[in-house]
Amino acid sequence: MKKNIGSTDKMIRIVAGVILILILLFVQSGFRWVGLLGIVLLGTAFLGTCPLYLPFGINTKEHK
């Protein structure tokens, strides 16, 4: 897949992903399942590709 995530987008995804995973680990309520989204955010950050960006033509990667 073509890379479509820039460095700022990647950092935001990593920080948000870690926060959501911490929610998954430490919150003991029905809201806990939201923490699973952290896995998706970390995965897309490290792969550099967001499948949801593709149909909309979004690309936050810097062009050089």
CB-CB neighbours of 55 under 10 Å = 7
Note the pLDDT tens digit of each residue in 7-39: 999 999 999 999 999 999 998 888 888 899 999
Tell whether 38 is covered by a domain. yes
Tell whether 20 is covered by a domain. yes
What is the average pLDDT across 32-49?
Answer: 94
Look at the pTM and tell me if it is higher than 0.85: yes
Tell whether 21 is covered by a domain. yes
- Cα 48 from chain centroid? 10
What does the alpha-carbon distance between residue 50 and residue 48 come to, in Å, rounded to a whole number?
Answer: 7
CB-CB neighbours of 45 under 10 Å = 20
Q: Which domain holds residue 40?
A: 7-47
Q: How many domains does the chain divide into?
A: 1
3-state secondary structure (DSSP) of residue 29? coil
Tell whether 54 is covered by a domain. no
Residues 6+ apart with CB under 8 A from 27: 35
Q: Grade residue 62 by pLDDT with cuts at 50, 70 and 90.
A: confident
pLDDT value at position 29?
87
Tell whether 35 is covered by a domain. yes
